[in-house]
Chains A and B, each alone.
Chain A
Amino acid sequence: AQSVAQPEDQVNVAEGNPLTVKCTYSVSGNPYLFWYVQYPNRGLQFLLKYITGDNLVKGSYGFEAEFNKSQTSFHLKKPSALVSDSALYFCAVRDIGTGGFKTIFGAGTRLFVKA
């Protein structure tokens, strides 16, 4: 069975500092991995995905994520946080082996960036 864990309910960081939002996953086969962001009263917006190839994936708004197969992790990172990055972030996993689109989302991590 697929599962996703986001161990931190909340991450606080000062503007200009680097940020990391953690994600670990479990699938029986190989994963497709995704990060989404949700702003208040809006739907989830796609940030980036890992499909195959380079373990460092770059996405929207300066975000990137590193796929680590041995640690089954897919942490979201940004070198310099902005106040406008404050939002709810979701990690998601899809099992390639199933061939389907069923996606499991983590519980979400709220990011607060302080000016």
Chain B
Amino acid sequence: DAGVIQSPRHEVTEMGQEVTLRCKPISGHDYLFWYRQTMMRGLELLIYFNNNVPIDDSGMPEDRFSAKMPNASFSTLKIQPSEPRDSAVYFCASSFRVGVGLSNQPQHFGDGTRLSIL
């Protein structure tokens, strides 16, 4: 079974450019998460979706960041305009709920997109 698939694996672009990161969750998973990992701040939750609907976007750093999930098998994280401080590894993860009120399943992570803004 394929895991969470992220693309591209690496992205290098100049400050001010638009960046779009893509994620395909595991089939059947109804939760999708976007994280950012840096040495200074560790692993930060940016936003998560349930059944394609954003549930908590309190971690999105600024209006320059936006995320969408148009269907159950695809999500994007967009940064416009990008800045050097956005350089990080961005992870997508997915999970599922086994029953009403049960949120005890782990998250399955993709291998990330390493983003460098020059």
Interface residues of A (CB under 8 A from B): 32, 34, 36, 41-46, 49, 51, 90, 94, 96, 99-108
Give 13 new A-B contacts, CB below 8 A, not counting A43-B109, A106-B42.
Answer: A36-B109, A43-B93, A44-B43, A44-B107, A46-B107, A46-B108, A99-B101, A100-B55, A101-B31, A101-B33, A101-B48, A102-B48, A108-B43
B52 at the interface (CB under 8 A from A): no
Let me know if A107 and B112 touch, CB within 8 A. Answer: no
Interface residues of B (CB under 8 A from A): 4, 31, 33, 42-43, 45, 48, 50, 55-56, 91, 93, 95, 97, 101, 103-104, 106-112
Identify the closest chain B residue to A96 (Cβ): B103
Interface secondary structure of B, over-half rule: strand
In the complex, what residues of B have CB within 8 A of residue A99's CB? 101, 103
Identify the closest chain A residue to B43 (Cβ): A105
In the complex, what residues of A have CB within 8 A of residue B112's CB? 41-43
Let me know if A44 and B42 touch, CB within 8 A. Answer: no
Let me know if B42 and A43 touch, CB within 8 A. Answer: no
In the complex, what residues of B have CB within 8 A of residue A107's CB? 42
- Can you report 7 A-B residue pairs in the complex whose CB atoms are below 8 A from each other? A41-B111, A41-B112, A43-B110, A44-B107, A101-B95, A101-B103, A102-B45
In the complex, what residues of B have CB within 8 A of residue A100's CB? 55-56, 103
Task: Assess A101 versus B50: contact at CB under 8 Å? Given A46-B106, A51-B104.
Answer: yes
A26 to B67, CA, bound (A): 29
Q: Which 5 residue pairs spanning A and B have beta carbons closest together?
A: A43-B109, A46-B106, A105-B43, A44-B109, A107-B42
